[in-house]
Structure 1
Amino acid sequence: MALGWKLVIDTADAVALADFWAAALEYEVEDPTRLIDQLLAAGQLPPEAVHDHGGRKTFRGLAGIRHPDDPFDENSGVGQGRRLLFQDVPEGKSGKNRLHVDIHSEPGGLDKLVERLEGLGATRVREVDNGPAGHWWVMLDPEGNEFCAA
């Protein structure tokens, strides 16, 4: 049996980066409001550990996104399939990513994809055209993490 996993990304602003990647990948931002309300009511979570974002509660410094077709826990909002978790860390990004996401366009739709990603806050870095091996753009998300649009 395959193991479950999630990709965790260190951030300066987890909520903002989760919003970017949810829009970029057409994923859903997880909503832990029910769980947070339960933890607050039970005195198991201090109010300063909670952040309000767009009318829903999130854990300060943490935000997750999940594939809209995958199952999720209705109490916690946590995805049980394809999932990215963003967590704030004190140090900034200091070098090239050792792991990155490739976002694939529909056939013939690379220009449209790149323009959409730029509209969300991504930046083009360089175009790569390897002929029959592929054509893509190296891009940066709003915090400078590299990814490719192909």
Structure 2
Amino acid sequence: MSRDVQITFDCADPAGLAAFWAETLGHQVQAPPPGFASWDEALAAMGVPPERRNDASAVVDPAGSGPRLFFQRVPEGKQAKNRVHLDVRAAPGLQGDERMAALEAEAERLITHGATRLHRADPAPPLQAGHIIMADPEGNEFCLD
């Protein structure tokens, strides 16, 4: 039996982190319920006070094939390295210098959206094609692969 998967991020700013990952993955922030022009309007109608309207956010794959990413506000900050992380496939099919140039270009683009570059692992044939370790705006590690 196949199951759908949602990936959940604990964070301080769900809307901000959702916007970052939507930009990174080419996803979109999940639309508000039918009949509402915005999430703020929908949450107000549900009686959610303004100070709680950034408690959660989500992004979805516009093609409907990728998992939903859900962002929930938690009081504590990030404590240690992630045990699970996302690999963003930014250079599929490329090898060597061409691959690393594509990864570098994507790293620079994501830095302008709040990411931090942590480490570059150069290709080491036969098993290591090279990747760049990044962190999202709240410090969650991910790889450009």
Q: TM-score, normalised by structure 2?
A: 0.80
Paired residue for 2:138, among 115, 134, 143? 143
Residue in 2 that maps onto 1:60? 54
1:1-150 to 2 correspondence within 5 Å?
1-34=1-34, 41=45, 45-48=46-49, 59-70=53-64, 82-106=67-91, 107=94, 108=99, 109-132=102-125, 133-150=128-145
SS for the counterpart of 1:17 is helix
Amino acid at match of 1:128: A
Which segments of structure 1 move beyond 4 Å, counting only runs of 4 or more? 35-41
Greater fraction strand: 1
1:5-55 deviation digits (Å, cap 9, x = unpaired): 2001000000000000000011111122537667755xxx2140687xxxx
* 1:88, distance to aligned residue in structure 2 (A): 0.3
Aligned residues: 131
Tell me the residue number matched to 1:74: none
Are the equivalent residues in 1 in contact too, given 2:115–2:136 (CA < 8 A)?
Answer: yes
1:60 Cα offset (Å) = 2.9
Q: Give unmatched runs, 5+ long, in structure 1.
A: 52-58, 72-80
What is the SS of the residue equivalent to 1:120?
A: coil
Distance 2:144 2:43 in 1: 40
Superposed displacement of residue 130, structure 1: 4.4
The one-letter code of the counterpart of 1:28 is Q
Aligned residues: percent identity? 37
- Aligned residues: CA RMSD: 2.2
Task: Measure, in 2, the Cα distance between the counterparts of 1:26 and 1:113.
Answer: 13
